[in-house]
């Protein structure tokens, strides 16, 4: 009865500065809720001969696979701008599962009990937020955006105390690693230069081996992480995704989306959109995600100063010049991404105005972000688009499209590749979670099936494509801790 685990745990071999050796806390009565069989298959794992009871034991941490070396990782973070020493307060890393000899994936339990980093927390997670992370992370993956993924969710058979008593759950999360900006902040705060060098070398070996022999590898690392994070936030903006809690401990060095707490997708376009219940001042609003990415990268750069150059002033100048270039890189990427969404080839000096005019119209008319681009592809014909200003804008867009020097078919293909026809609508996610909490996964499974092909022109799924009815009650999401 071989599942196919192949653990090789390099991170757990680092010194205790980086982690705590700890096992998941056993749970009372685990029950498997959902298993991502497609993901399991891509990891060369076969659970087909394991019964549900045994699967629940495995994914709750009651039965640990052999060759694991379970740890809680240490990290720090700027949370809403305030620096805190953190760490895995409710997560345990089982180890690194190696696929096809060279692809390495962290296997982590989220909600697996207290650690020394729990800071008074219960170390547990509730079923709703874990299923939410499962849905949204899989949707982000299908949207072709780098992300951690969800392998399984189990109920623990125990209650967790939040605003109310809730069903406890554990999520199994898969990541190329859980190295974060906050990991570097934690080690930098200890002022141990040997550990900082160790972390840099470990990160380069794991994620960026192409710069291993570079004489400027630390600066190269900063540059590569900036490129990855810039591209990540471009993709979030492309599909109207709002992460909701862009603290430095939620920013991976690999460039993957991580920690789906108070996240959501925007319905009607408003750059100031915030869904998080704790983001009172809009620090992590939709339009603030690019500048916050730059801010987080500046915190990463600060950690690396002692290793960039022996002369501190020189190191600061080099790092500052690099980070200051973020805006130029982002604006170029943003403009090209928006051209792709509008099916525009080449460059025209008026492209930026054309794009901003569209956003101005969308905001003024409370037009749906996703459906506006669908309308331009001929998919959505909502009454809001029967508007003289929008018709006039489309005339300008069609004039610009004539300069593409390519076929309409190629324009359509470019737009279809960049504009989803379906996203995880907030009200549909809530409907699915409400039913799942009652033990009925039908709505969740149907939603997951529809979200698997977000760029296809589906039929008979209109209820998944319309935004929630307008309401005086503001939609809010919560961290779940």
- Examine residue 1 and state whether it is found in any structural domain, yes or no: no
pLDDT category, 84, cuts 50, 70, 90? very high
Are 124 and 90 in contact, with CB atoms under 8 Å apart? Answer: yes
User: What are the φ and ψ backbone dihedral angles of 190, each rounded to 5 degrees?
Assistant: -80, -15
Is-catalytic flag, 220? no
Residue 465 CB neighbour total at 10 angstroms: 21
CA-nearest of 418, 428, 419, 434 to 462 is 428
- List the structure tokens of 46: 């076969």
Helix (H) or strand (E) holding 187: helix 181-190
CA-nearest of 300, 355, 345 to 326 is 300
Is residue 363 predicted with pLDDT exceeding 60?
A: yes
Are 154 and 30 in contact, with CB atoms under 8 Å apart? Answer: yes
Are 118 and 162 in contact, with CB atoms under 8 Å apart? Answer: no
pLDDT category, 476, cuts 50, 70, 90? low
User: Domain check: are 382 and 450 in the same one?
Assistant: no
How confident is the model over 454-472, as pLDDT tens digits? 999 888 899 999 998 776 5
- List the structure tokens of 198: 């160790």
**Range of 430's domain?**
426-464
- List the structure tokens of 295: 């801010």
User: Domain check: are 275 and 344 in the same one?
Assistant: yes
- Examine residue 234 and state whether it is found in any structural domain, yes or no: yes
Residue given tokens 């939603």 in the structure block: 447
User: Domain check: are 314 and 431 in the same one?
Assistant: no
Using CB atoms within 10 Å of the CB of residue 215, give its burial: 0 to 12 exposed, 13 to 18 middle, 19+ buried: exposed
Check residue 457 and give its pLDDT.
Answer: 86
User: Domain check: are 141 and 236 in the same one?
Assistant: no
Partner residues linked to 92 by β-bridges: 109
Residue 37 CA to residue 48 CA, distance in Å, equals 9
Say which of 88, 106, 249, 368 is annotated catalytic.
Answer: 249
User: Domain check: are 256 and 321 in the same one?
Assistant: yes
User: Domain check: are 442 and 469 in the same one?
Assistant: no
How confident is the model over 100-150, as pLDDT tens digits? 988 999 999 999 999 999 988 899 999 999 999 999 999 999 999 999 999
Coil, strand, or helix at residue 419? Answer: coil
pTM of the model: 0.95
Is residue 333 predicted with pLDDT exceeding 80?
A: yes
Coil, strand, or helix at residue 293? Answer: helix
Check residue 479 and give its pLDDT.
Answer: 58
Residue 189 CA to residue 203 CA, distance in Å, equals 18
Check residue 353 and give its pLDDT.
Answer: 98
Number of alpha carbons in the 13 Å side-chain half-sphere of residue 123: 18
How far is Cα of residue 13 from the mean position of the Cα atoms in its chain?
A: 27
Is residue 432 predicted with pLDDT exceeding 80?
A: yes
User: Domain check: are 397 and 269 in the same one?
Assistant: yes
How confident is the model over 256-301, as pLDDT tens digits? 999 998 899 999 999 999 987 777 778 999 999 999 999 999 999 9
User: Domain check: are 224 and 201 in the same one?
Assistant: yes
How confident is the model over 140-197, as pLDDT tens digits? 999 999 999 999 999 999 999 888 899 999 999 999 999 999 999 999 999 999 999 9
Residue 427 CA to residue 476 CA, distance in Å, equals 11
- Examine residue 318 and state whether it is found in any structural domain, yes or no: yes
Q: Alpha helices, DSSP H only, in 254-368?
A: 289-308, 312-324, 326-341, 351-364
- Examine residue 336 and state whether it is found in any structural domain, yes or no: yes
User: Domain check: are 430 and 283 in the same one?
Assistant: no
Coil, strand, or helix at residue 122? Answer: coil
Residues 6+ apart with CB under 8 A from 297: 181, 222, 225, 226, 229, 323, 326
Residues 6+ apart with CB under 8 A from 418: 238, 337, 340, 341
Partner residues linked to 268 by β-bridges: 368
Are 116 and 181 in contact, with CB atoms under 8 Å apart? Answer: no
Coil, strand, or helix at residue 71? Answer: strand
User: Domain check: are 215 and 348 in the same one?
Assistant: yes
Residue 191 CA to residue 187 CA, distance in Å, equals 7
Check residue 468 and give its pLDDT.
Answer: 83
Helix (H) or strand (E) holding 382: none
What rounded mean pLDDT belongs to the chain? 94
Is residue 323 predicted with pLDDT exceeding 60?
A: yes
- Examine residue 3 and state whether it is found in any structural domain, yes or no: no
- List the single range of 88-97, 289-298, 380-389 with lowest mean pLDDT: 380-389
Is residue 78 predicted with pLDDT exceeding 60?
A: yes
User: Domain check: are 318 and 398 in the same one?
Assistant: yes
Residue 230 CB neighbour total at 10 angstroms: 23
Above pLDDT 70, what percent of the chain? 97
Is residue 338 predicted with pLDDT exceeding 70?
A: yes
Residue 87 CA to residue 408 CA, distance in Å, equals 52
- Examine residue 378 and state whether it is found in any structural domain, yes or no: yes
Domains: count for the chain: 3
Helix (H) or strand (E) holding 69: none
- Examine residue 432 and state whether it is found in any structural domain, yes or no: yes
- Examine residue 4 and state whether it is found in any structural domain, yes or no: no
DSSP letter at 151 equals E
User: Domain check: are 407 and 452 in the same one?
Assistant: no
pLDDT category, 65, cuts 50, 70, 90? very high
């Amino acid at each position: 009865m071989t599942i196919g685990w192949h653990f090789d745990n390099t991170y757990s071999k680092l010194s205790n500065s980086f982690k705590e050796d700890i096992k998941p806390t056993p749970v009372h009565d685990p029950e498997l809720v959902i298993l991502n069989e497609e993901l399991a298959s891509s990891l060369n794992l076969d659970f087909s001969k394991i019964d549900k009871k045994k699967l629940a034991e495995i994914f709750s941490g009651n039965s640990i696979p052999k060759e694991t070396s379970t740890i809680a990782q240490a990290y720090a973070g700027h949370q809403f701008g305030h620096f805190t020493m953190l760490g895995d307060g409710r997560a345990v890393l089982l180890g690194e599962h190696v696929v096809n000899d060279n692809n390495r994936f962290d296997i982590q339990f989220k909600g697996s009990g207290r650690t020394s980093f729990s800071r008074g927390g219960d170390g547990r997670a509730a079923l709703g937020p874990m299923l939410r992370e499962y849905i949204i992370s899989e949707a982000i993956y299908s949207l072709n955006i780098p992300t951690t993924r969800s392998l399984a969710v189990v109920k623990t058979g125990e209650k967790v105390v939040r605003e109310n008593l809730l069903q406890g759950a554990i999520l199994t999360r898969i990541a190329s690693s859980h190295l974060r900006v906050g990991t570097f902040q934690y080690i930098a705060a200890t002022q141990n230069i040997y550990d900082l060098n160790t972390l840099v070398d470990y990160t380069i070996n794991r994620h960026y081996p192409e710069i291993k022999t570079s004489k400027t590898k630390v600066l190269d690392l900063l540059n590569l992480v900036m490129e990855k994070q810039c591209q990540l936030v471009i993709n979030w903006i492309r599909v109207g995704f709002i992460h909701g809690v862009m603290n430095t401990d939620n920013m991976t060095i690999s460039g993957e989306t991580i920690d789906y707490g108070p996240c959501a997708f925007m319905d009607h376009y408003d750059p100031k959109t915030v869904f998080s219940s704790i983001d009172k001042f809009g620090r992590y609003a939709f339009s603030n995600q690019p500048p916050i990415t730059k801010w987080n990268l500046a915190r990463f750069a600060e950690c690396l100063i002692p290793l960039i150059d022996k002369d501190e002033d020189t190191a600061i100048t080099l790092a500052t010049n690099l980070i200051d270039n973020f805006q130029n890189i982002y604006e170029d990427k943003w403009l090209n991404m928006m051209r792709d969404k509008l099916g525009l080839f080449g460059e025209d000096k008026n492209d930026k105005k054309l794009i901003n005019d569209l956003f101005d119209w969308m905001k003024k008319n409370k037009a749906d972000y996703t459906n506006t681009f669908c309308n331009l592809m001929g998919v959505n014909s909502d009454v809001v688009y029967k508007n003289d200003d929008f018709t006039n804008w489309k005339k300008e867009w069609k004039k610009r499209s004539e300069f593409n020097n390519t076929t309409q078919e190629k324009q359509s293909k470019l737009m279809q590749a960049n504009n989803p026809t379906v996203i995880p609508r907030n009200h549909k996610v809530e409907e699915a979670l409400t039913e799942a909490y009652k033990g009925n996964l039908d709505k969740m499974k149907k939603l997951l099936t529809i979200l698997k092909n977000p760029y296809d022109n589906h039929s008979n799924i209109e209820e998944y494509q319309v935004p929630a009815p307008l309401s005086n009650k503001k939609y809010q999401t919560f961290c779940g801790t």
